[in-house]
């Protein structure tokens, strides 16, 4: 099971729920096809905000609040209460505004930028090594067929058309454990 709000180091329960709704809209999951929430991307972002991205915590608080306010204005309920399709639609609109492909229509540039930032961080959580708290059970790597930390690839594995999902994905910790700490 992915972590819930009781694991939070930075976010409030309400903030955790809104961020969960964002992560689910970036890469949705289902019981037999896990997504960003299943991969603990919310935990990854929460931990990053407690550490490497501490400077961004105020931006997250403001952004999550503004996103909820926008959802209230548009749909009459907070963002986390919207259906997946509505959340995808709203975030896609913010993305178009961020890239200048659509008029802001009352949306603040800060909110449009925050949505892109949160998306980027969710994807970091999906594809970074599990050491950082996301990519639980290597859900991200298995989704796209990335084998992770491999010492190297054989000539067969380097042929055009090779199905790399046949290579068991490996984490950094697993790879380092196979060495004596020094490779050369």
Partner 1 sequence: MSRQDADVVLVGLGAVGGVIAAELAAAGARVIALEKGAEYSPDQDVRKFDELRYEVRNAITPGMQSDPITWRPDERSVGCPLPWQVGPLSMGPLFLPPSLGVGGGSIHWAAWAFRFREAEFRLATTLEERFGKDILDGTTAVDWPYDYDELEPFYERAEIELGVSGRAGNLNGETQEGGNPFEAPRRSEFPMPPLDPAPTDTPFVAAVKGMGYHPYPAPAAINSEPYRGRSACTYCGFCRDYACHVGAKASTAVTHVPAALATGNLEIRSFARATEVIHDGTGTAQGVRYIDLPSMKEREVHAPLVILSAYALENARLLLASGLNENGQVGRNFITHNFPFLVGTLPEYTNLFVGPAVASSVVDDFTSELVDPAEGVLWGGPIVNFAGDQQPIEAMKMAGAGIPRFGPEFKEWMRQNYRRLFSMWSERASLPRPEYYVDLDPKVRDPFGQPALRITHDWHDSVARDVEFILARMKEIGTEMGATDMWTFPAKPPYHVSTHEVGTHRMGEDPTTSVVDSYGRSHEVANLYVVGGGQMPTYGAYNPTLTIWAMAFRTAEHLAREHGARTAGVAA
Binding site for partner 1 (CB under 8 A): 25-28, 35, 52, 56, 59, 84-85, 87-88, 91-92, 95, 99, 101, 113-114, 116-117, 119-120, 123-124, 126-129, 131-132, 140-141, 143-153, 155, 157-164, 172, 175-176, 179, 181-184
14 vs 149 by CB, closer to partner 1 = 149
In whole angstroms, how close is the CB of 63 to partner 1 at the nearest point?
Answer: 9
In whole angstroms, how close is the CB of 162 to partner 1 at the nearest point?
Answer: 6
In whole angstroms, how close is the CB of 5 to partner 1 at the nearest point?
Answer: 23
Q: Is 21 helix (H, G, I), strand (E, B) or coil?
A: helix
84 vs 104 by CB, closer to partner 1 = 84
104 vs 131 by CB, closer to partner 1 = 131
Cβ-based burial of 33 (10 A; exposed 0-12, middle 13-18, buried ≥19): exposed
In whole angstroms, how close is the CB of 69 to partner 1 at the nearest point?
Answer: 20
- Phi and psi at 140, nearest 5°, equal -65, -50
Instruction: Give the long-range contacts of residues 16-20, CB within 8 A, separation 24 or more.
Output: 16/42, 16/46, 17/80, 18/64, 18/67, 18/68, 18/78, 18/79, 18/80, 19/45, 19/46, 19/60, 19/64, 19/118, 20/80
């Amino acid at each position: 099971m992915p972590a819930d709000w009781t694991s939070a180091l930075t976010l409030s329960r309400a903030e955790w729920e809104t961020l969960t709704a964002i992560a689910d809209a970036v890469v949705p999951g289902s019981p037999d096809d896990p997504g960003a929430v299943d991969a603990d991307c919310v935990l990854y972002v929460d931990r990053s905000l407690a550490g490497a991205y501490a400077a961004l915590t105020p931006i997250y608080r403001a952004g999550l609040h503004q996103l909820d306010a926008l959802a209230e204005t548009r749909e009459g309920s907070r963002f986390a209460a919207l259906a997946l399709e509505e959340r995808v639609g709203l975030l896609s609109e913010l993305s178009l505004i961020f890239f200048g492909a659509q008029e802001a229509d009352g949306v603040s540039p800060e909110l449009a930028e925050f949505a892109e930032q949160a998306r980027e961080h969710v994807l970091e959580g999906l594809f970074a090594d599990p050491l950082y708290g996301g990519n639980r059970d290597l859900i991200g790597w298995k989704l796209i067929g990335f084998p992770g930390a491999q010492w190297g690839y054989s000539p067969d594995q380097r042929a055009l058309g090779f199905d790399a999902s046949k290579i068991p994905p490996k984490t950094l910790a697993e790879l380092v454990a196979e060495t004596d700490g020094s490779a050369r």
